[in-house]
Amino acid sequence: MSADSALTLVSATRTFDGWLKRYKHRSQVLNCDMVFAIYLPPQADTAAVPVLWWLSGLTCTDENFSQKAGAHRVAAELGIALVCPDTSPRGLELPGEHDSYDFGSGAGFYVNATQAPWNRHYRMYDYVNEELPQLVREHFPVNGREAISGHSMGGHGALVLALRNPGRFTSVSAFAPIVAPSQCPWGEKALAGYLGSDRESWKAYDACELIAQGDSKQALFIDQGDADNFLQEQLKPELLEQACWKHKHPLVLRRQPGYDHSYFFIASFIEEHLRYHAGYLFETHR
Laid out side by side, the sheet with 81-84 consists of 8-15, 18-27, 32-40, 81-84, 49-55, 142-150, 172-175, 220-225, 251-256
Our answer to whether residue 261 is catalytic in this structure is yes
Distances (CA, A) of 149 to 12, 54, 91: 23, 5, 26
The yes-or-no answer on residue 105 being catalytic is no
Q: Which of 220, 107, 241, 238 is CA-nearest to residue 160?
A: 220
Phi, psi of 115 (to 5 degrees): -100, 140
**Measured between alpha carbons, how far is residue 92 from residues 130, 178, 191, 224 in Å?**
22, 26, 20, 34
Residues 114/121, Cβ–Cβ less than 8 Å: no
User: Among residues 47, 133, 43, 42, which one has the least CA distance to residue 83?
Assistant: 133
Task: Verify whether residue 198 is a known catalytic residue.
Answer: no
Neighbour tally for 229: CB within 10 Å: 12
For 9, 85, 120, 139, the CA distances from 3, given in Å and listed in that order, are: 10, 18, 26, 6
Longest distance between any two alpha carbons in the chain, whole Å: 51
Among residues 56, 152, 173, 216, the one annotated as catalytic is 152
Cα 178 vs. chain centroid, distance in angstroms?
12
Active-site residue (options: 228, 249, 273, 277): 228
CA dihedral sign of residues 151, 157, 158, 163: positive
Rounded to whole angstroms, how far apart are CA atoms 51 and 132?
13
Catalytic residue among 72, 249, 261, 273: 261
Catalytic amino acids?
152, 228, 261
